[in-house]
Chain A
Amino acid sequence: MLSLHLAQFNLPFQPEQASEFAKPYDDLFWATTGLTVFFTLVVVAMLTVFCIRYRHGRKADRSNQLTSHMMLEATWTVVPFVLGVFMFFWAAKLFVDQRVPPKDAMELYVIGKQWMWHIQHPNGVRENQQMHVPTGKPIKLIMISQDVIHSFFIPAFRIKQDVIPGRYTVQWFTATKPGKYAIFCAEYCGAKHSEMGGYVYVLSPAEYRAWLATGGEKVVAAKQTPVEIGKELWDRYRCQTCHVETDTVYGPSVHGLVGKTRKFTDGSSAVADREYIREAILDPYKRLNEGYGKTMPEYKGELNEEQVLALYEYIRSLGAPPTPSAPTVASASKSGSGGNL
C-alpha cells in the first residue's frame, strides 16, 4: 500500500499494527479517508470546471437558469445522511468491542500521576514509564489517576482512555506483534506532560513468563505480590483492630466482602466492588455502613492509589469468613490475585 512505499523513505504514514484492534481500526480509517478524498475531489472538480467554463468573457450557454431542484437537494441530503448512519453503526460496533473487555482478561493496574505512569502486574512486578505484555492474551487495564486527568494512549494498539482522579476507568487490548511501541499521555496534565511517555514491550508468552519471573531489568523486582503488599499495609495500619472475621461493634467484617451488598445510613446500598472499597478506605464517611458511626479514620492523603489497589487485592483474597454464623457471600473471590497466566 501507499504507506508501505512511503515507509521506504522513512516517512511513516500509519503506526504499526500491534494489536487485534489495529486492523479493523485501520480498515475504518482508510474507508473514511476514501470517502473524504472522493467527496473532496467531486466538489473541487465541480468548482474548477464551473469556474473555468463559465468565466466572465467565455462563451457558454447561460440560458435556463436553475435556482432550485428538489431531486438534487434530496440527493445530496439523503446520500450524506445514509453514509453517515452507515459509518456510525460501523464505528459504534467497533467501539463497543473495544470497550467491553472479555471476562478472562488479565488485569494490569495503571496509575497515572504527574508525570509518570506506574504499571502493576498481578504477580507484583511494578514498572514505571513502561509496560511489558504478552501477545495473544486479552489484557485489561484498570486505571486511575493520583492527581489530575491524564490519558493512557498506545497508538500501535489503537487504544486510548482518559485516566481520571477519583474513579477507575478501564480499557483492554490483545497484543499481536512483539516489539517496542510508544506510550503517550494524551491529556494535558501540566509542565511535563510531553515527557510523560514511555514504551510498551510486547513479548511472546514464553518470553513474558521468563521476564515476569526474573522481574526484568529496569523494573522494581517483584519481591511481593499485591496481596502481600496489601497484607503488609493491613498490618501496618492495624486494620484488624476493627475489622475481624465477623462483624463487630467496631467495624464490619471484610471477609468475602467483594461482591457483597452493603447497606448505608442514608438508606441506599451498593455492591462492594473495587470502586466502593477504594471509597471506603479513602473516604469512609461518604457512605457509612448502617449501624456504624464515624469511627474509622479517613485514609485520603495517607494512602496512594497503588496502596489502595494492593489493599483491595488483599481483601479480595480473604474468602468467606470461616464460621457459618458470619455472613457468607455468593461469589467469593475466585479469580485470586496470584497472577497466574
Chain B
Amino acid sequence: MAAGATQVEHGHEHPEGVFHQFENIDQQNESYIVGMWTFLVTEVMFFGPLFLAYILYRWQFQEYFWRTHKLLNIWLGGANTLILLFSSFTMAMGVHFAMKKDSRRQIAFLGITALCGVAFLVIKLAFEWPSKFAHHLYPGPNFAWPPHDGYDQATLALLRDVPSGAAEMFFSLYFGITGLHGIHVLVGVLCIGTIIVMKFLKFPQVEPYIPTEMVGLYWHFVDLVWIFLYPLFYLMPR
C-alpha cells in the first residue's frame, strides 16, 4: 500500500451529470460558485483603476467636472438605473425559480432580465451617446469645446469658462467607464440568452440552477458598478 494514503473504494463511475473531476454534485456546485466569486474579484480590480483615475482627476478639476457633468442627461441615466435595479430583482427571481426547478417561470424572469439589459443598452447607445457624438463631445482629435448649441443658455454660459482639457478628461473617463460597463452588460445579456436557449433545447443538467446562479452573481455585480457610476457621473454635487 502506498504510504501516507489508504485506498477508498470509489471506483471510476460518478453520478450522472457530475463532471469527471468532481466527486459529487455538491463539490461541483460549490466549485462553480467559488469560481464565479473569484472571477468577480478580478472584475473589481479591473474597474478599480478607472475609478481611481476618476477620483484623481475629479480632485484636480472639481469645479470644471461639475460644470461639464451638466451635459449628461440625468433622466436617461436615472431610467437606466431603475431598469437595472428592476432587472436585478427579476434576475433574483429567475435564480429562485431555477432552484425550484420551475422552468417556465425561470425562463420568463430570465427573459425579462435580458430585455432590461437590452433596454439599458438601447437607451445608452441610441439616445445618450449619439447626442454626445452629434455635438462632437467625444475625446480625441475631433473634440469640440465649448459646445455652442444643443443645451440651454445658462448651461452654455457656465461651460464657456471650462478649459477644454478638463472637459475632455471628463468625457474620457465617462466614455471609458460607461463603455466598459456597457460591454459587461452586453456579455451578461448574451449569457442569459445562452441559458434560455439551453433550457429550450433541454440540455441535460443535474443542477440547472448553478449556471443561472453564476450569471445572477455576475449580473448583480454589473448592476452594482452602475450604482456607483450613476451618482459619480450624473449626480455630481458641487
Contact = CB atoms under 8 A, between A and B. Distances in A.
Would A and B touch once assembled, by the CB under 8 A criterion?
Answer: yes
Interface of A: 265-268, 283, 285-288, 293-294
Interface residues of B, number: 10
Contacts of B161: 265, 288, 293-294
B157 to A, nearest CB: 11
A288 B163 contact: yes
Nearest to B164: A285
A293 B63 CA distance: 16
A267 B166 CA distance: 15
Contact of A283 (B62, B64, B160, B165): B165
Interface string B142-164: 00000000000000000011011
Nearest to A265: B161
Contacts of A266: 61-64
B169 to A, nearest CB: 11
At the interface, is chain B mostly helix, strand, loop or mixed?
Answer: helix
Nearest to B166: A286
B158 to A, nearest CB: 10
A212 B161 CA distance: 47
At the interface, is chain A mostly helix, strand, loop or mixed?
Answer: loop
Interface of B: 61-64, 160-161, 163-166
B63 A285 contact: no
Given A287-B163, A288-B163, 4 more contacts: A266-B61, A267-B63, A288-B161, A293-B161
A264 to B, nearest CB: 8
Contacts of B63: 265-268
A266 B67 CA distance: 10
Task: Identify the interface centre among A268, A285, A288: most chain B CB within 10 Å of its CB.
Answer: A285
Contacts of B62: 266, 268
A165 to B, nearest CB: 15
Given A266-B62, A266-B64, A286 B165 contact: yes
5 contacts: A266-B61, A266-B64, A268-B63, A283-B165, A288-B163
Contacts of A265: 63, 161
A309 B64 CA distance: 28
A293 B159 CA distance: 12
Sorted from nearest, which 5 A-B pairs have the closest CB atoms?
A266-B63, A285-B163, A286-B163, A265-B161, A267-B63
A268 B65 CA distance: 14
Contacts of A283: 163, 165
A288 B160 CA distance: 11
Contacts of B61: 266
Contacts of A285: 163-165
B12 to A, nearest CB: 37
Task: Identify the interface centre among A267, A268, A286: most chain B CB within 10 Å of its CB.
Answer: A286
Contacts of A268: 62-63
Contacts of B160: 293-294
Nearest to A264: B63
Contacts of A294: 160-161
A14 B209 CA distance: 69
Contacts of A267: 63
A283 B166 CA distance: 12
Contacts of A287: 163
B162 to A, nearest CB: 8
A137 to B, nearest CB: 37
